[in-house]
């Protein structure tokens, strides 16, 4: 998005001669630059502020002119944090690792690494937003020097205070001037957010009103629950998918983005806890989790979380007539698949018939197209001596299940004739 730059002429700036052409021009520029903000749903901005609140380094990816710098300017203003902008591509490695200063007795005292002025000012302020711009045009040597700044918050011999947050911005290599791919060690230290423009936000912002960046409101009573949920979700998922604990991508471009490692899973766990405590939408959590560990692992984790919240399929089989199936399509599909899996785990005629009753209940309360796969799987669990229940006829007109059942019976009889048991 392109939040307001909120720029006004400094109070101490010398005024131009009243009535001069430049004075009138300054008045016009002042009116153009005078804008306001309003609270408005904005998933990108909400994800950014949540990651900043969680004290995780964020990297905004976006095409030139999309509003990344303006967003950070407005964020710092909204959070009342002094903004320190450092253009990474115009600095040398020593600007981040420190300049060696030889003292009176270097053999005894050593050679300290003096930090640059911007780092000293951040420490003096005790808080601030450090904005590392043009990261994708920084040379590999500069990127290597930034590793300690991003992860350990150290600039030379200086330790940045806890009140400093780090946000970076980069253009994709194809649209960056003399761009470089990010090194895997540096990329893996960031939460990657892809910044795109929204037509309505841009139009309303150019009219003078931009969305306001606000820190998420964490609910104190939900903090223990949020931490427990995040740990249970991430640990349970990685226990089931251990190959995703660390997976370095096999292409240079993908290595410069989000990918799974113990470090990035820790970031995902933190973001999930913050998102739960702040009661943000699932879409915001998806942006953050995928930005930490990558699209594939992130989507798998979200699907795992969804399944954690699904009711026990045994409750559906116990009372199909009152089964309260999820309304969201993907969750309903997962719930029906869980019912079929439960029947397959303990195949009994009564449970098989209860499974069909659950499908009928799903037909009565939701879209019929979700029934094809679970119905086909349930039909495949039929034993020789199980009659097709009458409830199946209620589904026949929708998914052609009666014909499938008849073909199944025909195959069973043919198998018997050939001495093959199905």
**Residue range 227-283, pLDDT digits in tens:** 999 999 999 999 989 999 999 998 888 999 999 999 999 999 999 999 999 999 999
Q: 30-71, pLDDT tens digit by residue?
A: 999 888 888 878 889 899 999 999 999 999 998 888 888 888
Distance CA 60, CA 49 (A): 12
**What's residue 397's pLDDT?**
66
Note the Cα 142 to chain centre separation in Å. 27
**What's residue 7's pLDDT?**
39
C-beta separation of 356 from 392 below 8 A: yes
**What's residue 129's pLDDT?**
94
Q: In this structure, how many other beta carbons lie within 10 angstroms of the beta carbon of residue 7?
A: 14
**What's residue 213's pLDDT?**
77
Orientation angle between helical segments 372-379 and 349-365, nearest 10 degrees: 170
Q: What are phi and psi of 385, to 5 degrees?
A: -95, 15
Q: Burial level of 31, CB count in 10 A (0-12/13-18/19+)?
A: exposed
Q: 21-101+111-211: CATH homologous superfamily?
A: P-loop containing nucleotide triphosphate hydrolases (3.40.50.300)
DSSP letters for 41-57: --HHHHHHHHHHHTT--
Alpha helices in 131-261 (DSSP H): 140-152, 184-187, 199-206, 223-240, 252-255
Conformational region of residue 85, where left means phi above 0, alpha means psi within -120 to 50, and beta covers everything else: beta
Q: 301-323, pLDDT tens digit by residue?
A: 998 888 887 788 888 999 988 88
**What's residue 246's pLDDT?**
96
Run means of pLDDT, 10 residues per run, the chain, 422 residues: 42 58 88 85 90 95 84 85 89 83 66 83 93 89 90 88 93 69 92 88 86 85 94 92 93 91 97 95 95 95 85 88 84 87 90 90 82 85 85 69 50 57 42
**What's residue 109's pLDDT?**
63
Distances (CA, A) of 310 to 269, 303, 314, 338: 21, 11, 11, 9
User: What is the helix, strand, coil percentage profile of the chain, to 5?
Assistant: 55, 10, 35
């Amino acid at each position: 998005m392109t939040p307001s730059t909120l720029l006004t002429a400094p109070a101490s700036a010398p005024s131009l001669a009243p009535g001069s052409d430049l004075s009138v021009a300054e008045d016009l520029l002042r009116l153009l630059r005078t804008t306001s903000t309003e609270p408005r749903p904005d998933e990108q901005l909400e994800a950014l502020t949540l990651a900043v609140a969680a004290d995780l380094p964020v990297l905004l990816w976006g095409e030139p002119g999309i509003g990344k710098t303006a967003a950070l300017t407005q964020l710092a203003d909204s959070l009342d944090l002094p903004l320190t902008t450092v253009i990474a591509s115009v600095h040398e490695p020593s600007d981040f690792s420190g300049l060696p200063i030889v003292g009176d007795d270097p053999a005894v005292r050593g050679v300290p690494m003096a930090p640059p002025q911007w780092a000293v000012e951040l420490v003096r302020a005790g808080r601030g937003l450090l904005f590392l711009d043009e990261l994708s045009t920084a040379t590999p040597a500069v990127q290597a020097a930034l590793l300690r700044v991003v992860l350990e918050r150290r600039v030379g011999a200086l330790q940045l205070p806890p009140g400093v947050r780090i946000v970076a911005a980069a253009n994709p290599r194809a649209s960056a001037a003399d761009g470089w791919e990010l090194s895997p060690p540096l990329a893996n230290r960031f939460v990657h957010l892809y910044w795109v423009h929204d037509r309505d936000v841009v139009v309303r912002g150019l009219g003078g009103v931009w969305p306001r960046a606000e820190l998420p409101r964490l609910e104190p009573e939900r903090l223990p629950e949020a931490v427990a949920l995040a740990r249970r979700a991430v640990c349970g998922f990685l226990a089931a998918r251990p190959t995703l604990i660390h997976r370095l991508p096999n292409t240079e471009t993908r290595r410069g983005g989000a990918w799974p490692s113990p470090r990035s899973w820790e970031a995902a766990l933190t973001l999930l806890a913050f998102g739960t405590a702040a009661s943000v939408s699932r879409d915001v959590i998806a942006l953050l989790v995928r930005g930490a560990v990558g699209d594939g692992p992130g989507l798998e984790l979200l699907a795992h979380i969804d399944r954690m919240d699904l009711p026990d399929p045994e409750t559906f089989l116990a009372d199909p007539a009152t089964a309260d199936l999820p309304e969201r399509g993907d969750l309903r599909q997962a719930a029906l698949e869980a019912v079929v899996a439960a029947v397959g785990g303990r195949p009994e005629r009564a449970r098989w018939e209860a499974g069909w009753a659950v499908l009928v209940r799903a037909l009565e309360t939701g879209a019929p197209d979700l029934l094809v796969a679970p119905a086909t799987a349930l039909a495949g669990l039929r034993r020789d001596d199980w009659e097709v229940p009458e409830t199946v006829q209620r589904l026949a007109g929708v998914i052609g299940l009666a014909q499938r059942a008849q073909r199944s019976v025909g195959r069973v009889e043919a198998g018997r004739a050939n001495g093959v048991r199905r």
